[in-house]
Amino acid sequence: MMFSSSRLRDGLTRRRFVTGVGAGGLMAALPRSAQSAGVGAQAAGLIPAEPSALWNLSVGRTHIEIDHKALHAPCVEGTVPGPVLRWRQGETVAVNVTNTLAHEDTSIHWHGIRLPSGMDGVPGLSFTGIKPGETFTYRFRLHQSGTYWYHSHSGMQEAQGLYGAVVIDPIHPDPNACERDYVILLSEWTDVSPMDMISNLKMQDDYYVFRQRTAASFLREAREAGSAAAALKDRLAWSRMRMAATDISDVTGIIYTYLLNGHAPDGNWNGLFCPGERVRLRFINGSSMTFFDIRIPGLEMLVVQADGNDIEPVPVDEFRIGVAETYDVIVQPKEDRAYTIFAQSEDRTGFARGTLAPRASMVGPVPPMDPRPVRTMVDMGMGNMKPGESMKEMAMPAKNMSGGGMAAGDMADMPMPGMAMHHQHSAPPPLEVDDPGPPPINVENQNVAMMPVDRLGSPGDGLEQTGRRVLNYRQLRATRPGADPRPPSREIILHLTGNMERYIWGFNGRKFSESGPIRLKKGERVRFTLINDTMMEHPIHLHGLWSELENGQGAYRPYKHTLISQPGSRMSYLVTADVPGTWAYHCHLMLHMELGMFRTVIVE
Amino acid sequence: MKRFAFPGMCLAVQMLTMSAALADGGAVSGAEPPPSSPRYHAADAPSSTPFVSLGGINPVMDQERYFHGIMNELEGRYAPGGTDFRWDGEAWYGSDYNKLWLKTEGTQERGRLHDGDHELLYSRAISPYFNLQGGVRVDLDDGPTRTWGALGVQGLALYEFEVQATAYVSDRGRFAAKLEGSYDFLLTNRLILQPQAEFNLYTRSDAARQVGAGLSDVDAGLRLRYELWRKFAPYVAVTYSGFLTQAHRIVRDQGGETGTLRFTLGIRSWF
């Protein structure tokens, strides 16, 4: 058992941390020695007592076993996750990263941090990586504050454990300071190598899915659908498309153990509170393939920050966190009892779990998982079409169009009732539109969203009918107006495409190796519009520049670094190309990125 | 791999889809282009000034090659008259678009190997679900050897039928065709019932290889497998192997078995 307590310089915050019994897997992996400020006697989820402008980090492989799955995990300072780095806004920080790996390059990307492109840590784009035995010094000034994270951008190291949290103290007093403050970093653990995953998925796209519709599940489906005929019709519609309504996550709990601050569910990570205290939880989804739906039964969560930027507080019972997103929530447990932080994977094949408790080693009740989501024709980009309706019936205009989207090519020059609110009414139309047109059906793309719809008001598949208050993107409202009031002078429309059967991913029906860079002029104000033609969510991350989501909040649109594009949806955000350089732009589902859903954005 | 003889109509539809996909050359298909359509331009279009990575480091790995093989049938077929042993498998190596593909099948019957069909093909992905395959087929077993050129398609047809349709031309100017198909019914997520059939057609008879003109033979099975893990599934099955039309008469005249229904045990596995 570990215990530590500290008081911040500004006296605002007091933090304590206790690990529960059974955290043995992680204990073995705690840092062997303190090598620099803040690293050392630090336990998972605990934020260092003081910020530091200098960090020395070592990357190596450590034998770690969690949930009976052993791995020589590439990681920082011998722990998974790596140490929490605490910085202060306005300071220039230096991080010396030493590669002690025997034969592989490494890198650290500072996810969501605005910095010169040479410091962004993407091998091939920002620099040439860190060779074995070498030390690279990252140095950049912090213009922002909030919760972020770091991870390797080399090979598959991130998927195996090379990631950690970053907390940046604001210069001004933090409006969301709490008596307790914990990082809650969610991730996955498996002894299956990511290369094997890719190879298996290339051979069989549902390799890891054991929740498919079967003869055995037909009776239940018939009951839910109202009749056997309706259930059969829906099944035929899906099999006709050669897709599966049960395709939620490509890689599942069959091989993954879901971690909370490096602890398996049995490890039961503990965070302490005194009844009545306000507790800030900084959720980071550091997994490579898993979305989590998070709730703390018995507690209302006040969402106060998204992707490091403060938002007007939103009280919720639950929220979905896409891969690479962060959300800060505040809870105020009043009773003298244990509360469970319950983070079920989107496909409901497992969950990460921890406990908030007034005393160490308490165990909160673990709720049952919800039913797994099932994809619908909305996810296929067919608007609200019923299964079995033919494409011809719905492709034709008039009544079907209202409220929905339409074939992409028409969008640029036609006013759309459903879309109007996302474009600023007062703004002149963008001068220039890069519209690729509907993507081709080809080897690399198996579907075209005929009627992509606005899904910003939806919390996501599987969360629409839970009876709980679940966060959606439309609720995100920044606490201060955006820094760049200019309307966009250019719109870039991109289709998210893929072929699940061949397991190829990309934009506009092309993978990375067949595409050119997206070029932006320095200072240019651009609207990115994403149309998701696939039936899966994609967390799209633009390095180096903010993505300002056009969610109907006008000047108070939220600034994000990673945005979930929901299946069958159309979504827009604004970008100011204010930092020159070559930036990565990709789906943060690691296997999708590696298999082509990746672009370079060059600001020149 | 699932197999099942599937009506040619589906294939025709597939071929049309494929040619459409090929013809558009990456531009527009599917949705109707509006009359006053704007000029389409993709911001990420292939560029004459491409991105050049630092140090030649590729940031992702979307051009890898993969190597896989599957033994769809590896089975003993039991009958009072004797037990046959049969295999049917394939392996391939290559990228998303281009693969080298090996297919092999054969039956050992009372110490004699027949129906040995081995093909080495170049496979090109041409649509979301279909590959065009061309190469060489050698009938190599205890009968006389025959050599064929092969051209066909393989893929996943509508409603998730696995199909293969291949045409052959021999060094002696004869033609042949093979149709294969299968379908996976999921009884549970691990217990899978798979009907499968393969038909061979020839333009000319070849008595030495028990081949008749027209529809010559069929090999079919109804296999119930249990996926202990994805790559390893034992199965029980009922299989039928038989000669049809002219081949039926040829084999009968030779005193051979013209068709047998057998209880079968086997293992499906892949890597």
Q: Do B187 and A214 count as a contact with CB atoms less than 8 A apart?
A: yes
What is the maximal distance between C-alpha atoms in chain B? 73
Task: Examine the pLDDT at B137 and tell me if it is beyond 90.
Answer: yes
Q: Which of B34, B42, B129 sits opposite A434 (nearest CB)?
A: B42
Q: Is A234 on the interface with B (CB under 8 A)?
A: no
Residues in B closer than 8 angstroms to A434, CB to CB, are 41-43
DSSP notation for A413-454: GS--TTTGGGS-TTSPPPSEEE---SPP-BTTB----SB-B-
| CA A294 to chain centroid | 13
Q: Would you state the structure tokens that stand for residue A274, as one six-digit string?
A: 């005194």
Whether B5 has a pLDDT exceeding 70, the answer reads: no
DSSP letter string, A130-157: B-TT-EEEEEEE----EEEEEE--STTH
Contact by Cβ (8 Å): A282, A184:
yes
Q: Is residue A30's pLDDT more than 90?
A: no
What residues of B are in contact with residue A602 (Cβ under 8 Å)?
51
Close Cβ partners of A292 (under 8 Å, ≥ 6 residues apart): A186, A258, A285, A320, A321, A343, A344, A345, A346, A352
Residues B127-159 as b/e (b if ≥16 CB within 10 A, e otherwise) read: bbbbbbbebebebebebeebebebebbbbbbbe
- CATH number for the domain formed by residue range(s) A3-179: 2.60.40.420
- Considering only CB atoms, B55 lies closest to which of A124, A444, A595, namely A124
Residue B80 — very low, low, confident or very high, per pLDDT cuts 50/70/90? confident
Check A516 against B96: CB less than 8 A apart: no
The pLDDT, as a whole number, for residue B37 is 52
**Considering only CA atoms, which of A371, A235, A272 is closest in space to residue A14?**
A272
Using CB atoms and an 8 Å cut-off, which of residues 140-199 of chain A contact chain B? 153, 198-199
Q: How far is B15 from chain A (nearest CA, A)?
A: 13
Q: What is the CATH superfamily name and number for domain B67-270? A: monomeric porin ompg (2.40.160.40)
Nearest CA in chain A to B65: A199
Domain A3-179 and domain A395-603, same fold? Reply is yes
What is the least distance, in Å, from the CA of B238 to any CA of chain A? Answer: 21
Q: Are A307 and A266 contacting, i.e. CB atoms less than 8 angstroms apart? A: no
Whole-complex ipTM: 0.86
pLDDT surpasses 80 at A410: no
Q: What is the pLDDT of residues A67-90, one digit of tens each?
A: 999 999 999 999 999 999 999 999
Segment A283-304 shows an average pLDDT of 98
| Cβ contact B230–A199 (<8 Å) | no
Q: Where in chain A are the domains?
A: 3-179, 395-603
Cβ–Cβ gap A242/B96 under 8 Å: no
How confident is the model over A173-201, as pLDDT tens digits?
999 999 999 999 999 999 999 999 999 99
Specify the residue for token string 């306000």.
Answer: A278
Q: What is the pLDDT at residue A382?
A: 86
Partner residues linked to A542 by β-bridges: A585
Residue A394 has pLDDT above 70, yes or no: no
When pLDDT is cut at 50, 70 and 90, the band that residue A41 belongs to is: very low
Own/partner pairs for A309-314, CB < 8 Å, 24+ apart?
A309/A144, A309/A146, A309/A478, A309/A558, A309/A559, A309/A560, A310/A146, A310/A175, A310/A176, A310/A478, A310/A479, A310/A480, A311/A476, A311/A477, A311/A478, A311/A479, A311/A558, A312/A477, A312/A478, A312/A479, A312/A556, A314/A471, A314/A475, A314/A476
Put simply, the chain A residues between 83 and 112 with a CB less than 8 A from any chain B CB are none
* Chain A residues close to B187, C-beta within 8 Å: 214-216
Residue B194: pLDDT over 60: yes
Q: Is the pLDDT of residue B179 over 90?
A: yes
Q: What is the pLDDT of residue A297?
A: 97
Q: Helix A228-240 to helix A218-225 angle, to the nearest 10 degrees?
A: 110
Domain spanning A395-603 has what CATH number? 2.60.40.420
Residues facing residue B197 across a β-bridge: B181, B220
Q: Measured between CA atoms, how close is A241 to chain B, in angstroms?
A: 7
B143's CB contacts (< 8 A; 6+ apart) are B114, B116, B208, B209, B210
pLDDT at A10: 30
Residue A385 is predicted with a pLDDT of 55
The alpha carbon of residue B137 and the mean position of all alpha carbons in its chain are separated, in whole angstroms, by 13
Sign of torsion over alpha carbons A19, A20, A24, A25 = negative
For chain B, the structural domain boundaries read: 67-270
Q: For B17-40, what is each residue's pLDDT tens digit? A: 444 344 333 333 444 444 445 679
Task: Name the A residues in 554-593 with CB < 8 Å from any B CB.
Answer: 582, 584, 586, 593
Cβ-nearest to A124 among B28, B32, B57: B57
Q: Which of chain B's residues have a Cβ under 8 Å away from the Cβ of A441?
A: 17, 20-21, 29-30, 127-128
Distance from CA of A564 to the nearest CA of B (A): 20
Please give the helix or strand (H or E) that residue A184 lies within, else none.
Answer: strand A180-189
Task: Looking at the complex, report in whole angstroms how far the Cα of residue A580 sits from the nearest Cα belonging to chain B.
Answer: 15
Q: Stretch A555-566: mean pLDDT, rounded? A: 98
A448 and chain B in contact, CB less than 8 A: yes
